[in-house]
Amino acid sequence: MIMDSIKTKVAVAERRAKPRVECGFSALVRGYGKDGKKFQEPATVCNLSACGLYMRVHKAIEPGSQLFVVIYLSEIAPKETASARIAIRGPVVRALLKPNGDCDLAIEFNRNRFL
């Protein structure tokens, strides 16, 4: 049957409540590891919306972890220029550990403010 051999693409509906902006902002992440020790790590924000973000950090972080993130709203390194910043708090809702040890995180905002 010809219809069986035809492959159709089904459009997947966008489930996000707010649009996301692709970016490459530097960030600083603070939280507590599984061992209960405080950590602070640099990160890169891959995309950002009004209610969440997706970023890459060089440390394995568990889903459910509460994080504090300062995002530098500049493509230039934070130490080279003064830039606007956003501070956010929220839980890790998704974590994907990469083979190289990096971890991609989706974080939902509980609180945020401009610094």
Q: How far apart are CA 37 and CA 31, in angstroms?
A: 8
Q: Indicate whether 23 belongs to any domain.
A: yes
pLDDT in tens, 76-96: 656 656 778 999 999 999 999
Q: Indicate whether 76 belongs to any domain.
A: yes
Q: How far apart are CA 60 and CA 97, in angstroms?
A: 6
pLDDT in tens, 1-40: 444 444 444 444 455 566 788 888 999 999 998 788 899 9
CATH number at residue 82: 2.40.10.220
- Please give the model's pTM, rounded to 2 decimal places: 0.77
The parent domain of residue 104 ranges over: 17-114
Q: How far apart are CA 41 and CA 59, in angstroms?
A: 8
Q: Indicate whether 7 belongs to any domain.
A: no
Q: Indicate whether 82 belongs to any domain.
A: yes
Structural domain count of the chain: 1
